[in-house]
A and B are shown apart, each in its own frame.
Chain A
């Protein structure tokens, strides 16, 4: 374990620790970090965690691929479903899911549709998103973009593709969002959580090599820093060894 811990490896370890044994969940669209986190949790403390809800059950990728959505990554799995089953999974919900976008705001709302302009006259048109149900039929989800700047962390998103906590508890209740919604925001710089009362994002911990001031400078809204901000607990020897030797054999998380 000579090489230093990469920011992406730190993200994976933080996310893996929050997934519990016996849960059912899926990785979402930008799957590299979530799939690594799920695999690490299954290796370390959650052998009965089931990956399901996205057409394949319990894939065994062998190694990580930049896009985890192909037969080389998922072809070795316990069962394959089709898009027809998306209805059942969407209505029943999962225990956890993952999202990230072009913009993320102080309430954890995520934009994948357009930046500037309007939907049909956009300054910049984004990709959109495939499925919108898991963000609120699932018990909770994680926001885990692999960049963290003042451009993709903004006070208010231009379009809510994936609802987070909308504009707070009242709006969330009015919209019928009854589950937890986004629990943690994990980026290459830090971990954020949401204030229990206001549901606004606040800094929880900073990864090694970052200061709270730096993280604030790279965020487009007030992170409500009060007093000491702890450092994110670094990967243990065992977490790092299992991650590198059994999951990320190709070093994709250090690239």
Chain B
């Protein structure tokens, strides 16, 4: 034998359950979880379901400034203590479990705004003690926002706001593609706050629609949205954002979300049998993503969402 064998680079490709266990362990140290995407787009829902199945609780949930289905599901599963998200809504209707739990005093929903959340993530990503904000006036949110301080601007002397670093212990992202080293490629038009969260967090776990060969990344490096340096684990999960969208691959499943919200509203007004059955069917019973896909309606069902994403 001449010379030494070339040392091998470690792949970050992980299984869904292993990723969930990794996240649960970290969140037991510090419960700050942050979710990528926005409202019904590119939400890491399969990772959220796996984390719930692994038994997380007492979570403090962050997100880009708008979230809906996934946070509501986490609340329905009893996993959330505090919500640090400015807007929580299904857009065409309110989030039923969020509403019920906050009205019952079971979950604390802080009054926040987008600049506070984005600014806190910026401070963390940039390694500075705070991010100044000079664009908030007149809202009652400012009286209740727990993350803001008023400070004197050292240059002008004016009173402005400052937000300290928001440092999620774990961030879940969903992107369309990654290589095995964890370089993420968002093929959707919007990348939301995903790049900022990746840089602001202790641990980043991403689900992707598919793992691509190394050459795909090397041939077009400017297309990488989150470099692997920021990513700890990557999981290939078919339809891993369902029932939210993963454009351009598949659209959001409005009917599924609407049916879920009907069950949530029934539970809110006293009949929780439907919601309990939903959680059993989608969360407790599926052992893996294939089981989940079958429970939702099978691959033929998802072909419709793929066609909708192509505007057909």
Contact = CB atoms under 8 A, between A and B. Distances in A.
Interface of A: 29, 55-56, 62, 66-67, 69-72, 74-75, 77, 80, 82-84, 86-87, 90-91, 113, 117, 119-133, 135-137, 159-163, 166, 172, 175-177
B250 to A, nearest CB: 11
A130 B192 contact: no
B141 A132 contact: yes
Interface stretch (B17-25, B101-109, B206-214): B101-109
6 contacts: A71-B309, A75-B248, A82-B190, A84-B193, A133-B113, A172-B138
Where chain B touches its partner, the secondary structure class is loop
Interface hub of A72, A124, A128 (most chain B Cβ within 10 A): A128
B144 A128 contact: no
A212 to B, nearest CB: 31
Contacts of B40: 67, 69-70
A135 B190 CA distance: 23
A56 B190 contact: yes
Given A125-B102, A133-B114, 5 more contacts: A125-B103, A128-B89, A129-B113, A132-B136, A161-B139
Contacts of A62: 311
Nearest to B107: A125
B114 A160 contact: no
Interface string B32-48: 00000011110000000
Contact of B122 (A84, A121, A126): A84
B248 A71 contact: yes
B137 A176 contact: yes
Contacts of A71: 41, 188-190, 245, 247-248, 309
B139 A163 contact: yes
Given A71-B245, A80-B190, A176 B87 contact: no
Nearest to B193: A83
Contact of B87 (A121, A130, A137, A172): A130
B95 interface: yes
B91 A69 contact: yes
A131 B64 CA distance: 11
B111 A130 contact: no
Nearest to A179: B137
Interface of B: 38-41, 64-66, 85-89, 91-92, 94-95, 98-99, 102-103, 105, 108-109, 111-115, 118-119, 122, 133-141, 144, 188-196, 245, 247-248, 251-252, 308-309, 311
Given A82-B195, A132-B136, A161-B139, A87 B189 contact: no
A132 B148 CA distance: 14
Contacts of B112: 128
Given A84-B195, A130-B87, A72 B311 contact: yes
A128 B65 CA distance: 10
Contact of A77 (B99, B189, B196, B251): B189
B178 to A, nearest CB: 18
Max chain B C-beta neighbours (<10 A), residue from A82, A121, A132? A132
A28 to B, nearest CB: 11
A224 B25 CA distance: 62
B115 A133 contact: yes
Contact of B192 (A83, A121, A160): A83
A136 B138 contact: yes
Nearest to A59: B189
B103 A177 contact: no
Contacts of A136: 135, 137-138
A132 B115 contact: yes
